[in-house]
Amino acid sequence: MRNEPSTASIPFIMMTGWSSKGGQRQGMALGADDYLSKPFNASELIDAVAAQLKKKERAQTQVAKQTSASETSVNVLLPAEIGMPLQTIIGFGQILSNPGSELSRQDISSAGQQISAASFRIQRAVDNFVLYSQLLALESDSDALNQLRASATPDVKEFVDARVLNLARARGREADITLTTSDGVLEIESEYLGRLVDELVDNALKFSSPGEKIAVMCVFSPDRFGLAVTDLGRGMSPDQLKNINAFVQFGRLTDNNVGLGLGLAIARKIAFLHGGALSIKSKMGEKTRVAIELPRKG
């Protein structure tokens, strides 16, 4: 029942003549939600069923709340992430196409830069939305998931170092970066390893200021790979740490941060699909450390 999607969420109460704790543990390990040892009376059975139905109801309510919150965030964030830069493109396009406009070369160059930045913002929003949707679909496609996990990236040190420095250079912050990376082969497609690096480093750059150091470390052990990015920026509050999820954007109003809030959600999903995990430790006003751990075949 637990392996069949149509019945996996149905509460299961095991009723057996086994009275030992060993039998109970075995039943729970097989996926039972509760355990009744014979003999039992009708009242005990009714209470057990009622408890499981109540637990399922609470779980469904929680899922509904999370789904509703995500849908609300998408409805608010996606139009803003596409609509606002689109208005920039339209506005500058109208100015440039107006025959009566007397624009200097500097004005034209500035308009071109604004259009390019707005276009990049739209492209990033669409790309992130599509990628996150694809990652969600991969969870239920075992064949695609096995194929994904069969890929590998050689020369990880060279790949990570180049990726990190390119991101820092684009923000004028190469001097803030400290790299401690070891080399090896990692069982992950380079596209996905690149996204892990991009999201963690971009997050550190976004939530720290020029001059505040960012340490990037990747290490290999015989059976694990670790990537960690630590910034000495503003840090995160306990509430923010609890609320990290898809389509949750921190500091959008107070700090003018843009995006769909998908960066760390994408990184977490990529790690999960490869059998790994993402963890975050932070202290408000001091630092944030985001780490990814992935298994290795050795």
Starting at the earlier edge strand, list the strands of the sheet with 177-181: 177-181, 214-220, 224-231, 287-295, 277-283
- Read off the pLDDT of each residue in 141-168 and give the average, rounded to a whole number: 92
> What's the one-letter identity of residue 84?
M
pLDDT at position 71 over 50: no
Q: What is the pLDDT of residue 19?
A: 58
Q: What is the pLDDT of residue 143?
A: 87
Query: Average pLDDT of the chain?
Result: 81
- Read off the pLDDT of each residue in 106-123 and give the average, rounded to a whole number: 90
pLDDT at position 37 over 60: yes
Domain 145-295 in CATH 3.30.565.10? The answer is yes
Confidence of residue 146 (pLDDT cuts 50, 70, 90): confident
Joined tokens for residue 245: 């999820």
Q: What is the pLDDT of residue 6?
A: 52
CA dist list (Å): 91 to 88, 193, 239, 252 = 5, 37, 39, 23
Q: What is the pLDDT of residue 242?
A: 73
Confidence of residue 249 (pLDDT cuts 50, 70, 90): low
CATH 3.30.565.10 domain span(s) along the chain: 145-295
pLDDT at position 67 over 60: no
Q: What is the pLDDT of residue 158?
A: 96
**Strand, helix or coil at 203?**
helix
In this predicted structure, which of 75-89, 126-140, 241-255, 274-288 has the lowest mean pLDDT? 241-255
DSSP string, 41-75: -HHHHHHHHHHHHHHHHHHHHHHHHHHHHHHHHHH
Buried b (16+ CB within 10 A) or exposed e, 80-103: ebbeebeebbeebeeeeeeeeeee
- Read off the pLDDT of each residue in 218-242 and give the average, rounded to a whole number: 89
pLDDT at position 261 over 60: yes
Confidence of residue 253 (pLDDT cuts 50, 70, 90): very low
Confidence of residue 156 (pLDDT cuts 50, 70, 90): very high
CATH of span 71-138:
1.10.287
Strands 224-231 and 287-295 come out as antiparallel
- Read off the pLDDT of each residue in 222-226 and give the average, rounded to a whole number: 93
- Read off the pLDDT of each residue in 204-229 and give the average, rounded to a whole number: 94
CA dist list (Å): 254 to 42, 54, 134, 162, 189 = 58, 41, 31, 32, 37
Q: What is the pLDDT of residue 292?
A: 96
pLDDT at position 149 over 90: no
191 within 8 A of 155, measured Cβ to Cβ? no
Confidence of residue 183 (pLDDT cuts 50, 70, 90): very high
Angle (nearest 5°) at CA 196 between 284 and 240: 25
CATH 1.10.287 domain span(s) along the chain: 71-138
Q: What is the pLDDT of residue 46?
A: 84
- Read off the pLDDT of each residue in 6-34 and give the average, rounded to a whole number: 65
pLDDT at position 256 over 60: no
Q: What is the pLDDT of residue 255?
A: 46
Q: What is the pLDDT of residue 244?
A: 67
Q: What is the pLDDT of residue 169?
A: 94
Chain position carrying tokens 């779980």: 59
- Read off the pLDDT of each residue in 208-215 and give the average, rounded to a whole number: 94
Q: What is the pLDDT of residue 153?
A: 93
Cα distance between residue 232 and residue 37, in whole Å: 56
